[in-house]
Amino acid sequence: MVDRKRVLPRRQEGMSLTGLILVLMVLGMFALLAIKIVPSFLEYRAVHDGMVRAKATGGTTVEMQETFDKFAEVNNIEAIRGRDLVISRDGPSPAISFSYEKRIPLTERATLVIDYDGTTDPSGVVAAKAGEAD
């Protein structure tokens, strides 16, 4: 005779449809935010790269601004222009910095505001922000 063990019904496991819908809604909101924020961050990285390239060319302040403007035109940078860069010549090499605000509309009445800044100064002090505090 075969010994049969009594099989107890196991508790049902898994995710309910409501739980799945809530998780998908949260993931959808994060995806929507990422779709709106990532282009702004990529533009910031391009601005920073343009600032570094303008410093590498050296020359006068106007020449560095023109170099940045050419880089901005090629890389579709619309946030700032060469005239918005703060160029200081306190040391042996010029220090370039920038600071700007990006507004990203989320809904009709909600806007995300991101402050971007950068500098080539080794101390990390952003001259654009220091000038705004005055």
* Buried b or exposed e, range 15-48, using 16+ CB within 10 angstroms: eeeeeeeeeeeeeeeeeeeeeeeeeeeebbebbb
Task: Kindly state the average pLDDT of the residues 91-105.
Answer: 90
Confirm whether 9 is domain-assigned.
Answer: no
pLDDT at 107 over 60: yes
Confirm whether 41 is domain-assigned.
Answer: yes
Q: How many domains are there within the chain?
A: 1
pLDDT at 132 over 70: no
pLDDT at 67 over 90: yes
51-66, pLDDT tens digit by residue? 999 999 888 889 999 9
Which domain, by its residues, includes 80? 17-133
Task: Provide DSSP, 56-100.
Answer: HH-S-HHHHHHHHHHHHHHTT--S--GGGSEEE-SSSS-EEEEEE
Task: Kindly state the average pLDDT of the residues 92-114.
Answer: 91
Confirm whether 10 is domain-assigned.
Answer: no
Confirm whether 6 is domain-assigned.
Answer: no
Confirm whether 49 is domain-assigned.
Answer: yes
Q: What's residue 63's pLDDT?
A: 92
Confirm whether 93 is domain-assigned.
Answer: yes
